[in-house]
Structure formats: C-alpha cells, structure tokens
Amino acid sequence: MNIAITGAGELDSIGFQIADRLRKGGHDVGVIDIAGKHDYSADLRYVEAEGGYRLHAFDVLSGLMDAKKWESIEVLINCAGVTAMEEIQHLEAYQWHHVMAVNLHAPFFLCQSFMDEHFGDTKTVVNIASMGYKMPLRHSVAYTTSKAGLVMMTRSFAKDYADTGHRFFTVAPGSVEGSGMIRQVINEMVRLRSMTKDSAARYIKHGTPSGRMMTKGEVADQVIWCVDSAPEYMSGAIIESPGGM
C-alpha cells in the first residue's frame, strides 16, 4: 500500500519507527514532518529520511494540498505531535495555538483533503492520540485538550464516512520510552517540579501498574494492525494502551 505518515522525519521518533516497519513490510511510505518549531500555520512538508522513502513537498494549510498528490495514497497516519507543559495561568497564547495547530488543526485538514470525494478507492486513516485524551496530565492542558479533540475528530470522520468502506482509527498510547515527546515531558518536569531527569523518568514509569513505559515498537504494532488487519466494522475504534490502569 501507499502510505503517508506525519511526524516521521527524526530517526528516534515514534513516527519513524512506524514508517520503517511499514516499509520493511512491503509498503511504499512517504514521510511528512513539521516545518518550523513554532509555525502556527502548521505547514507540513515531506522531509528527507534514511531508508529509501518516497519524498514530496507540500504546505497543508496554505491553500491545502494539490489533490493530485493524494491520488496514489491509500493510508494516512497522523503521528506528528507537540506539547507545551506549563501551569495554566502561565500558558501563553502562542503555546496554546502551536499545540492546537500541530496536534489537531493539521490532522483535520490533512484528513479532509485526503478524503476528497473525487477519489473512490477505500482509504484508511490512523490518528495517534494519547491516553491523556481522557486522563488529564498535570501542566498539560493544551496537549490533553488537543488529543481529546483528535479522538472526537476521528470518530466524527468515521461516522460521516461509515457507509463508504473507509476506515478511521485512533491509537492512544501511554508514555512511550525514548520518544521525543517523553524527553520533552521529562525536561519540563525538571523545570517545573525541580526533579532530576532520572527521578522524572522513574515517576512516569511508576505511574502505571505495569511499572514501565510503552515501547515505540508496541505503538508501531498497533498502527500496523490497524493498517493491515483491522476489520471495516471497527472504524471509529480507539485502541488504548493504559498499561493496566
């Protein structure tokens, strides 16, 4: 299958792990990543990545994509995500808007363009949310709000396209060890709570009954199952990984 995935430009990211395993499984994978760390318009572009990926370039919110770029794409995976850990009263407008642009606005407009009714082939969308969508995280109001919105957005697409054969899934992982997101969370815990990086990592691990973080490979397994094996009638499902909670 021809697959486009966001947030896969960094070699140590969850997105790259997913993209790499899909490619090794025989899929043709296009990698998309964020252009500009604080780009409120959440412009997206294909970026060069190791492993023989097919690469293109487009801007998602400036006029949206040329529809022709979607003609051969069968699967869209929205994995790009950012957070802004801050006490609510200290959260600035640019932080809120940046998180919403990357985590919610960009996936919506990508899905909207991807599902252009001009193309009739069956399509699959997998959006990567977080267990934070239903369990608020301290100092993470923008992040958890964006992920709750992403879950409802995905279910809305599933309902509106329920009679078409298209499939929409949300994968909601817990804390993922070694991910860029968890590194950012640990750094912010050090800043906001006067913890060391080691103590912050232990705090996160001990916060789940399993006593460990999720691995990137486990997230990739769930996404690949959605792409390759999940039945059409499961469209709208949320695949959660609460670690025993």
pLDDT of amino acid 120: 61
pLDDT of amino acid 41: 36
pLDDT of amino acid 62: 40
The yes-or-no verdict on residue 68 having pLDDT over 80 is: no
Structure tokens belonging to residue 141: 């109001």
SS3 28: strand
pLDDT tens digit sequence for 28-55? 887 776 554 333 333 344 444 444 444 4
Closest to 4 in 3D by CA, of 26, 34, 20, 28: 28
What strands lie across the sheet with 44-46, from one edge to the other?
44-46, 28-34, 2-6, 75-78, 124-128, 167-172, 238-240
pLDDT of amino acid 60: 41
Distance from CA of residue 74 to its chain's centroid? 17
The yes-or-no verdict on residue 207 having pLDDT over 90 is: no
- Per the model's pLDDT, the better-predicted residue between 10 and 218 turns out to be 218
Task: Give domain 2-175+215-240's CATH superfamily.
Answer: NAD(P)-binding Rossmann-like Domain (3.40.50.720)
Apex CA 153: angle with CA 239 and CA 5, to 5°? 65
Asked if 103 and 145 count as a contact pair (C-beta separation under 8 A), the reply is no
Q: What is the mean pLDDT of the chain?
A: 81
Lookup result for tokens 């699959």:
124
- Per the model's pLDDT, the better-predicted residue between 94 and 120 turns out to be 94
- Alpha-carbon distance 240 to 110, whole Å? 23
Among 40-54, 61-75, 110-124, top mean pLDDT goes to 110-124
SS3 172: strand
Is residue 136 very low, low, confident or very high in pLDDT (cuts 50, 70, 90)? confident
The yes-or-no verdict on residue 126 having pLDDT over 90 is: yes
pLDDT of amino acid 117: 59
Structure tokens belonging to residue 167: 């499939």
Structure tokens belonging to residue 32: 């998309």
Strands (E), the chain: 2-6, 28-34, 44-46, 75-78, 124-128, 167-172, 238-240
Q: Are β-strands 2-6 and 28-34 bridged in parallel, bridged antiparallel, or unpaired?
A: parallel
| pLDDT, average across residues 139-154 | 95
Q: What is the percentage of the chain residues whose pLDDT exceeds 90?
A: 36
Which of 66-80, 81-95, 200-214 is predicted with the least confidence, judged by mean pLDDT?
Answer: 66-80
Asked if 39 and 185 count as a contact pair (C-beta separation under 8 A), the reply is no
Q: What is the percentage of the chain residues whose pLDDT exceeds 70?
A: 82
Domain range list for the chain: 2-175+215-240
